[in-house]
Amino acid sequence: MGEDSAAPYNWTWNNVAAGNYSLTARVVYDAGSSLDSSPVNLAVTLTSTNLPAPWQTADIGSGIAVGSASVSNGTYSVKGAGNLSGMADNFRFVYQTLTGDGEIRANLQSLQNTGPNGCIGVMMRESLASGAKYNLIGVSTVGRYRLQNRASTGANSTAAAGGGATAPNIWLRLVRSGSSISIYTSTDGGNWAQVTSVPVTMATNIYLGLAVASGTTNTLNTAAFGNVTVVP
Q: What is the pLDDT of residues 166-180, one digit of tens each?
A: 999 999 999 999 999
Determine the residue type at 53: A
163 contacts: CB under 8 Å, gap ≥ 6: 144, 145
Domain hosting 187: range is: 46-231
Confidence of residue 46 (pLDDT cuts 50, 70, 90): low
pLDDT tens-place string over residues 127-147: 999 999 999 999 999 899 999
Lowest mean pLDDT across 10-19, 69-78, 99-108, 188-197: 10-19
Q: Is residue 144 part of a domain?
A: yes
**CATH number of the domain to which 227 belongs:** 2.60.120.200
Distances in Å between the Cα of 79 and the Cα atoms of 52, 93, 219 are 17, 9, 10
pLDDT tens-place string over residues 63-103: 999 999 999 999 999 999 999 999 999 999 999 999 999 99
Q: Is residue 28 part of a domain?
A: no
What's residue 5's pLDDT?
Answer: 86
Establish whether the linkage from the previous residue to 168 is cis, with ω within 30° of 0. Answer: yes
Q: Is residue 80 part of a domain?
A: yes
Q: Is residue 168 part of a domain?
A: yes
What's residue 49's pLDDT?
Answer: 57
Q: Is residue 77 part of a domain?
A: yes
DSSP state of 142: T
Q: Is residue 40 part of a domain?
A: no
pTM for the complete prediction? 0.80
Q: Is residue 5 part of a domain?
A: no
Q: Is residue 24 part of a domain?
A: no
Res. 8: pLDDT tops 90: no
Provide the number of structural domains found in the chain: 1
